[in-house]
Amino acid sequence: MRYRYTLEGYDPDWSPITSTDRVVYSNIPPGDYTFRVLARNASGVWTEHPESFAFSIAAPFWATTWFRISGGTALLLGFFGFVRLRTRNLRKDRERLEGMVEVRTRELATEKERSDALLRNILPASTAEELKQHGAAEARRYDACTVLFSDFKDFTNFSSAMDSDTLVSELDHYFRLFDQLTDTYGLEKIKTIGDAYMCASGIPEPTPTHALNALLMGLGMLKDVEQSNAERAAKGTDRMAHPHRHPYRTGGDRRCGRRNSPTTFGAIR
């Protein structure tokens, strides 16, 4: 017996005549196929109609259309999810950084306000502004002004009997009263050293009543100290009970002096 065969959908044509009655196909892709075979007997007569066998090979699940669609959809969803998550994280990072910048900006603004307030407390407003703008302040000469200096007799002796917190608190209390008086009478605070308080009238803005203003400032200091002592004693808030150990308890403890003369005013860095 001789044979010819073909696998429709895979073979391009019929096979050559062969005596082999077995055929093996491998690596056939998914699809529909029909195997056809013709036979010839010893007399050389071929069968009129070929025998056929139809079959199908199913595609693996990863090669199916639904899997590809599902996989593509999953990839798209995963991509959009990643983009959304990334965007959200970036937004959170941006908001966090903006919050940090805002907090730092407020801190810097607060520090600037403190430094400006400290500068204004040390120097006249015009001089402080000049230092901020130019880094230096021009020295000015005043032909007539009055410098007032005030301290407290025996400060070293009674301060040695106080603890440091009480001493600083007491000085701060009275110096705040004096600061209010400088605003009232138009004097400029120069400096404080220990118990000493120095201020000047007629600078940085000249005034013909500089001597009178300084005198009123000195009298106001004496009056405010006496009044504050009386009020604190009535409330029982005096920190030092012994009169000889209190820096501002008696009139003899206070000293004020003033001097009228030409003065050069400036800021030394």
pLDDT at 158 over 70: yes
- Residues pairing with 3 in the sheet: 18, 39
pLDDT at 183 over 60: yes
Among 100-109, 175-184, 225-234, the least confident range: 225-234
DSSP-based three-state secondary structure for 31: strand
pLDDT category of residue 11 using cuts at 50, 70 and 90 = very high
Across 21-35, 112-126, 248-262, the highest mean pLDDT is recorded for 21-35
**Confidence at residue 89, expressed as pLDDT on a 0 to 100 scale:** 94
DSSP-based three-state secondary structure for 111: helix
Q: Which candidate, 148, 151, 122, places its Cα nearest to that of 137?
A: 122
pLDDT category of residue 144 using cuts at 50, 70 and 90 = confident
**Confidence at residue 267, expressed as pLDDT on a 0 to 100 scale:** 60
What does the mean pLDDT of the chain come to?
A: 83
- Over residues 78-107, mean pLDDT: 94
pLDDT category of residue 194 using cuts at 50, 70 and 90 = confident
Q: Which residue has the higher pLDDT, 239 or 8?
A: 8
What digits encode the pLDDT tens for the residues 234-243? Answer: 877 655 444 4
Q: Which candidate, 264, 44, 245, places its Cα nearest to that of 143?
A: 264
Domain 2-58 has CATH 3.40.980.10: no
Q: Which residues of 198-207 are buried (b: 16+ CB within 10 A; e: fewer)?
A: ebbbbbbeeb
- Phi, psi angles (nearest 5°) of residue 9: 100, -10
Whether the pTM exceeds 0.75: the reply is: no
pLDDT category of residue 266 using cuts at 50, 70 and 90 = low
- The domain segmentation of the chain, as residue ranges, is 2-58, 60-122, 142-264
**DSSP per residue, 193-239:** ETTEEEEEES-SS--TTHHHHHHHHHHHHHHHHHHHHHHHHHHT--S
Domain 142-264: which CATH class? alpha beta
% the chain with pLDDT above 90: 37
